[in-house]
Structure 1
Amino acid sequence: MSRRRRRPLALLTSGVLALPLLAGCGSGDDAGPAAAGPDIAPTAREKVADGGVLRWAVDSLPDTLNTFQADADATTGRIAGAVLPQLFTMDAKGRPVANPDFLEKAEIVEREPKQVVLYKLNQQAVWSDGREIGAADFVSQWRALSGKDSAYWTARNAGYERIEKIEKGKTDLEVRVTFLKPYTDWRSLFSPLYPKQVTGTPDAFNEGARGTLKVTAGPFNLGAVDKKTGTAALTRNPRWWGRPAKLDTLVLTAVPRAERPAALAAGKVDMAEVDRAGADRIERARKEAGTPAGAAGAPAPEADPAAAAAAATLSWAAAHGTDEAKAAAEEELRAKAQEAAVRYPAEQAALRNFTVRRSLEPAYTQLALNGASGPLADERVRRAVARALDRKELAELVLKPLGLPARPVGSHVALAGQRAYADNSDALGGQDTKAAQALLADAGWRRNGRITEPAGAKAGPEAEPQDDGKTPSAASGPGTGNDGLYIVGQDDGRNGEARGTAADQPSPVLAPAPFAAQQKAVLLAQAAALSAAAAGTPADAKGAPQRAEDADEADGADGDASPAPAPAQQTRTSGSMLAKDGRMLTLRFVVPSGPGSEALRTVGERISQMLRRVGVNTETTKVSDESFFKDHVASGQYDLALYSWPATAYPATDARPIFAKPEPAADGSLMVEQNYTRVGTDHIDQLFDQAVGELDEEASRELIRKADARIWAAAGSIPLFQRPQLVAVKPNVANAGAFGMAAPRYQDIGWKKPAKAAGTDSGEAKEKNR
């Protein structure tokens, strides 16, 4: 049975679904500079020591080492970047450039009657088994990825299906690729390039490259991949013809994001991408290094004593209540909190030895509006939601506290600095409350509208946040990204307005001993009152909200409940909120609940506030990170959602399935490809189709920009901000950190040589020795 299916590019939890980003060339700098460049401590190679080991944190070890399979992830791509040929790599502006380690030249040599691309390979380029890299490897990969043989389990065939034939050129170092149809994104092909041993047969492609790569060609070879220790070792390739790798070994170590500050402090890793809370811990530790003795390492005090007291009291009550399972879980939670409080000072002392490097990821976070059904099926309502948003305010909310450029993203298909980038947001228009209200009124939504609902239903401007039943406790497991990744796939999300995990905060004051049964009831009431006070919730006459079980007891003390009568209907006006046809304008807002998704939830709350100003109500549902994409976004069970898409140098190819018009399938379902908003038009599809076949690069980019303007006008997704990238690293690590849009240059990563204690450099050392 064939397992062929498309691999999603997106939904960066920091887990993005996580996919390797694809890498052509053009001329001109019309798109301007990148919003933020790499922050990697660039160091000349002569100042980098030869040898050493660097341990780099990754989310997990990959299930496959074949980047063209559906379960490939970010670590698959990272390994491929170090051990396999990359014909084109991304520069600091996210633009593909030819890699001289593998290519002397690659160019279109014929346009008529058919497009022909000639690759001239580096004459020293060889596989680790000594065989020259050549046409046979190109042919084998094309046949595996062309889509003609369903025995190959491929996730994507884009571009390869347009190839007619591949031939050896005048020499063994030349490869001629002839296309059936013109293909503007030809540079995206053969990066990475696998040896023919991997792509030559379906068995080798499907299974042979899942756990090992016997033949490689990069500055590093693939060493042991150990699932037990969670490490993959990359070792210096002795056959590498380019500048040799500075490191002896690069060890990729699987560490959940919530555990990374502790792993850094314990010396398990030297470099790790962290979320906002982790970055704050490191900054706090560095500041504490200058505080008086006895004060350094002390946890920051709680900002909200009432909320902390309520949480501590509820935790104690649950741990000593009648529900044994819940009590055990709470006891375990409290024990972990106490352990974290004990470890905290020592960890802070160790974290002083790290620095945080900052840039912006090659990915943007968007607000998705599901146009398949409900109020958002009306384009006027979608446009009104978009016009209600202050995108600059949302960008500043996430990026300004991190010291990063806080400019809204103006394109769905490229980021600032990339050649296809242009701010086309004017096709929709900026924040305008009056325009939003006029669009809603035109769609028939009115204030003070009459709504009918069951008697006793809660009236108010916003429904309480709901839980889908799959939401874990905040302490039940690590998050998957800085803002919740959902790049549909990796990151990721990732950097939030978080106060931190349990390890970041002092342990709450805990009750010392068990109480009698009646004291437990009093304790629960007090805790509820504290919670209500912290949240601003009205309490009942006794100072605590009435609990559901209390209401049950009042209704029937003897326990013989009679069947409940059908709820009576009540009619009321919607007040300042909008209504039509007897119902309020309420949108289901789905957000991930994991501890790494604080930024998404904060942004979601601010968006809800903006929508209330124009009369749109939101009903927020918090769902587990595992459930967020699969059960809600992909299945269409949402109205509003926040997730991320990775940037690509090849939007004509990679952006089309994200914005393609959904089409009915034979079974009556809707084929959405990767368009999870279900909003698309024939014109958008036509513009992408024209762009992908246009060999004039500037003409192709202009078609892409026109498609982007149409996507803005359709208001299915609203780009908000480029995702932050925070990397904790030891200060003496060179040429690594927050890479931004650029691809890592693995052979240049290493440890800085120690400063010479001679001449002018020795003054500080002499002073210390006095």
Structure 2
Amino acid sequence: MSHVGVGPRAVVRSAAFLTAGALAVTVLTGCGGADEAGKPLAGQDIAEAARDRVADSGTLRWAVDAVPDTLNTFQADADAATTTVAQATLPSMYRLDATGRPQRNADYLESAKVVETEPKQVVLYKLNQQAVWSDGREIGAADFAAQWRALSGKDSAYWTARNAGYDRIEKVERGDNDLEVKVTFSRPYADWRSLFSPLYPKDVMGSPDSFNDGARRKLKVSAGPFKVKEVDRKEKDVVLTRNPRWWGEPAKLDKIVLHAVPRDKRVDALADGTVDLAAVDPAGARRIAGAAQGNAGPLHGPGSGRTETEALRAWGTAHGFDKEAADSERGLKKLRKAMAEWHMREQQLRGFEVRKSFEPAYTQLALNGSEGPLADERVRRAVARALNRKELAELVLKPLGLPAVPVGSHLALSGQAAYADNSGALGDQDTGEAQALLADAGWVPGGPVEEPKKAEKAAGGNGRKADDGNDGDASEGGDDGTYIVGEDDKAPREEDRDAEEAQGARDEKPSGRHGEDGGRHLAQDGLHGGAPGAYAPKGTAAPAGAGPRALAKDGKPLSLKFVVPSGPGSETLRAVAGRIAKMLDRVGIRTEITKVADDSYFKDHIAAGQYDLALYSWPASAFPATDARPVYAKPVPAADGSLTVEQNYTRVGTDQVDQLFDQAIGTLDEDEARDLIRKADSRIWAAAGSIPLYQRPELTAARKDLVNAGAFGFRTPVYEDMGFLKKGAKISASPTKG
């Protein structure tokens, strides 16, 4: 599970919040001077090839997380597979280029521009005269009007997940001819290019029944290079075939089959030929790279130094077999068969490669400001100043060979028009400043701590039973002042070790947890400023309180609940959480890392506000004034007395940020809108509700002869160009990287 979380189209929830108060921001970027957008950190990696080198046939089997519950992207349960189907089968007036900026899609639009601003904004679309639906009907004003009415928010019978932008439209009408569509806005709308992408036929948008149910399982009419042939839930497939009425460059592939494969099963699915293209995690990427380098060679024989039994036992232990599996002839036979099958799969993996780029998304540390210590802006800012974001980016990206550059904006990524590094509004890592902020908030090193009640103590100090794993490290506290507990009381210890290995050897050990002196420091740990070589005998305990001491206030320790997912594929997040916990410990903030099931991680913890710290990702949008506003909007009281937080799961917001978003969305001056977005980002940094860390790596395993597909980066995929190389053809000598 990738834990991109939910996109900016997520369902609105209610919860408590805290205003960040008036923020003194001394430096605001984006107010003139050179453009700071820069370039994307990495281009797309798709094995680009000219169309004349691509075979005019073939089936691409593409791994997805699940068969989509709906084919309607405007419904709340739409997912990434829904988007893929829409991109391949439906019109989009604009698509993203290599820098994440919208560009007119000439297959559908001859032109689109604002033709009037007074008294109201009017956009005139001139459609490609060849653009038709697969039933032969021309794409026209009736389709635009039906989509506007369905998504305007005026008719609650439509179960829509979003109406941003459509709620600003006053009317949609035919222009001077059938190829013109005239859209009049009731209020100025800067992000008008975000609308009608994708565009559904009026058959889908024309009534609540057809919108709510008609396009969930079928898409009878399409207007892209492909059309939906079937959704086979039994076989876990969505089958797309060539659209015979497509007027653009014909699709090279006969079919694209989107096949549901769990993330932890994808490398095996590649090896056995089930799929040709699949997003993989770092472990999967390493396995494929290892196979390509011939790391699946014999484990015994001349020169190996191992007998067959020893080799089988070692291989079996490494692959989850019992240590006693090779102790009998039957067990040896079973292991021989399993290892032979494994080697065969590794050989098959040599036909694949890993294509690398960055997803248009970033991972952040979220700080829940609704209650507890993080309700105080000073504590949130102290957490942020304790972090070395460069180190965290290197932890994740350096082993992958990707640029380890921290993300400097909440609202855009490097290369996008609105991007600028506004992190200076909060400041870089500064241990002294973090400690000063905590002291100002009343958190005192080594302050008196109330003894927890007996029941609470047994529950791990936070109302839950501590993990009782056999290793003993969770129940005794982590080496860096961190509890590690499982939601079900039994968190897998291997995952703890994964995080520790990613951090390297831990040689800084706190005096205890929650302010209690555990006497864990050793004088030879070198933490106390002694002269080089002045080591005490190994095992000698340091004096009490020699290391970083836990902070306390009003008899309570400063301890934060850090929620992380427990499932396969989340090892990176857990490693990052472990490194962050170590950084926070250096300023006296203790953390309790709590591992929870993937299926409840976002819904029951992030969205419900049941966390102090959490790691999850947001996609970057080409239209931040529209898409990012609900993510950072100040929560407001609802009719029932609760607070509506939209998608602001940190519950931290300010009137200033809301006003800047409103101004940005209402201006048609693109430079002014960009500067307003950058100012909003500076204030979001200063409020310290979320700390962007690094752009998410995009690792895609692909058959070596599959071209124009892989790690797409910002650019919208060109589905009609995907395919397999002709026999004897080669990939372009100088592919366009992004």
**TM-score of the alignment, normalized to the shorter chain, above 0.5:** yes
Pick aligned residue for 1:469 from 481, 488, 511: 488
Is the CA contact (8 Å cut-off) linking 1:224 and 1:233 kept in structure 2? yes
1:484 aligns with none
**What's the CA shift for 1:464?**
2.6
1:209 aligns with 215
**What's the CA shift for 1:295?**
8.3
Q: Are 1:666 and 2:655 matched, yes or no?
A: no
Q: Are 1:633 and 2:631 matched, yes or no?
A: no
Q: Are 1:235 and 2:235 matched, yes or no?
A: no
Is the CA contact (8 Å cut-off) linking 1:448 and 1:573 kept in structure 2? no
Paired residue secondary structure (1:384): helix
Is the CA contact (8 Å cut-off) linking 2:67 and 2:238 kept in structure 1? yes
Q: Are 1:751 and 2:724 matched, yes or no?
A: yes
**What's the CA shift for 1:463?**
4.3
Gaps of 5+ in 2: 11-33, 307-313, 326-332, 458-475, 503-508, 511-544, 731-738
1:558 aligns with none
1:611 aligns with 584
| Counterpart code for 2:6 | L
Alignment CA distance shift 1:148-1:43 (3 Å) = same
Q: Are 1:700 and 2:673 matched, yes or no?
A: yes
Q: Are 1:35 and 2:41 matched, yes or no?
A: yes
Q: Are 1:17 and 2:17 matched, yes or no?
A: no
**What's the CA shift for 1:14?**
4.8
After TM superposition, list the pairs within 5 Å mapping 1:509-588 onto structure 2.
576-588=549-561
Is the CA contact (8 Å cut-off) linking 1:376 and 1:639 kept in structure 2? yes
Is the CA contact (8 Å cut-off) linking 2:8 and 2:630 kept in structure 1? no
Pick aligned residue for 2:72 from 60, 66, 74: 66
| Per-residue deviation, residues 709-729 of structure 1 (Å, max 9, x unmatched) | 000000000000000010000
Residues in 2 aligned to 1:403 and 1:207: alpha-carbon distance in whole angstroms: 45
**What's the CA shift for 1:752?**
1.0
Residues in 2 aligned to 1:583 and 1:260: alpha-carbon distance in whole angstroms: 46
Pick aligned residue for 1:653 from 605, 626, 645: 626
Residues in 1 aligned to 2:604 and 2:198: alpha-carbon distance in whole angstroms: 32
**What's the CA shift for 1:13?**
2.9
Pick aligned residue for 2:130 from 124, 136, 152: 124
Paired residue secondary structure (2:181): strand
2:17 aligns with none
**What's the CA shift for 1:462?**
2.2
Residues in 2 aligned to 1:726 and 1:497: alpha-carbon distance in whole angstroms: 21
Alignment CA distance shift 1:318-1:577 (3 Å) = farther
Alignment CA distance shift 1:256-1:581 (3 Å) = same
Residues in 2 aligned to 1:366 and 1:379: alpha-carbon distance in whole angstroms: 18
Paired residue secondary structure (2:646): coil
**What's the CA shift for 1:343?**
3.3
Is the CA contact (8 Å cut-off) linking 2:4 and 2:618 kept in structure 1? no
| Per-residue deviation, residues 346-385 of structure 1 (Å, max 9, x unmatched) | 2111111100000000000000000001000110000000
Is the CA contact (8 Å cut-off) linking 2:359 and 2:697 kept in structure 1? yes
After TM superposition, list the pairs within 5 Å mapping 1:424-435 onto structure 2.
424-435=422-433
What count of residue pairs does the alignment treat as equivalent?
630
Paired residue secondary structure (1:450): coil
Paired residue secondary structure (2:410): coil
Pick aligned residue for 2:158 from 134, 137, 152: 152
Alignment CA distance shift 1:498-1:162 (3 Å) = farther
Is the CA contact (8 Å cut-off) linking 2:705 and 2:724 kept in structure 1? yes
Is the CA contact (8 Å cut-off) linking 1:450 and 1:574 kept in structure 2? no
Pick aligned residue for 1:181 from 164, 170, 187: 187
Paired residue secondary structure (2:649): coil
**What's the CA shift for 1:579?**
1.2
2:177 aligns with 171
1:491 aligns with none
Paired residue secondary structure (2:695): strand
**What's the CA shift for 1:749?**
0.4
1:394 aligns with 392
Residues in 2 aligned to 1:338 and 1:452: alpha-carbon distance in whole angstroms: 59
Gaps of 5+ in 1: 1-11, 22-27, 301-307, 320-334, 480-495, 501-535, 538-571, 758-770
Q: Are 1:600 and 2:598 matched, yes or no?
A: no
**What's the CA shift for 1:341?**
4.9
Residues in 2 aligned to 1:215 and 1:498: alpha-carbon distance in whole angstroms: 52
Paired residue secondary structure (1:104): strand
**What's the CA shift for 1:222?**
0.9
Residues in 2 aligned to 1:104 and 1:69: alpha-carbon distance in whole angstroms: 29
Is the CA contact (8 Å cut-off) linking 2:486 and 2:596 kept in structure 1? yes
Pick aligned residue for 2:88 from 70, 82, 89: 82
Residues in 2 aligned to 1:469 and 1:214: alpha-carbon distance in whole angstroms: 45
Pick aligned residue for 1:279 from 285, 288, 292: 285
Residues in 2 aligned to 1:76 and 1:756: alpha-carbon distance in whole angstroms: 33
**What's the CA shift for 1:38?**
0.3
Q: In percent, how many aligned pairs have the same letter? A: 63
1:375 aligns with 373
Q: Bigger CA drift: 707-716 or 457-466?
A: 457-466
Residues in 2 aligned to 1:338 and 1:593: alpha-carbon distance in whole angstroms: 32
| Counterpart code for 2:359 | E
Alignment CA distance shift 1:446-1:30 (3 Å) = closer
Pick aligned residue for 1:453 from 451, 454, 457: 451
Is the CA contact (8 Å cut-off) linking 1:574 and 1:584 kept in structure 2? no
Is the CA contact (8 Å cut-off) linking 2:633 and 2:658 kept in structure 1? yes
1:49 aligns with 55
Residues in 2 aligned to 1:290 and 1:338: alpha-carbon distance in whole angstroms: 14
| Per-residue deviation, residues 259-293 of structure 1 (Å, max 9, x unmatched) | 00110000011111100111000001011179679
| Per-residue deviation, residues 643-678 of structure 1 (Å, max 9, x unmatched) | 000010000011110001111222222211000000
1:564 aligns with none
Paired residue secondary structure (1:700): helix
Paired residue secondary structure (2:154): coil
Is the CA contact (8 Å cut-off) linking 2:9 and 2:627 kept in structure 1? no
Residues in 1 aligned to 2:8 and 2:338: alpha-carbon distance in whole angstroms: 33
After TM superposition, list the pairs within 5 Å mapping 1:260-409 onto structure 2.
260-288=266-294, 341=339, 343-409=341-407
Residues in 2 aligned to 1:215 and 1:166: alpha-carbon distance in whole angstroms: 22
| Counterpart code for 1:466 | V
Is the CA contact (8 Å cut-off) linking 2:5 and 2:602 kept in structure 1? no
Paired residue secondary structure (1:417): coil
1:503 aligns with none
**What's the CA shift for 1:344?**
2.0
Alignment CA distance shift 1:217-1:602 (3 Å) = same
Is the CA contact (8 Å cut-off) linking 1:18 and 1:74 kept in structure 2? no
Pick aligned residue for 2:232 from 226, 237, 246: 226
Alignment CA distance shift 1:318-1:471 (3 Å) = farther
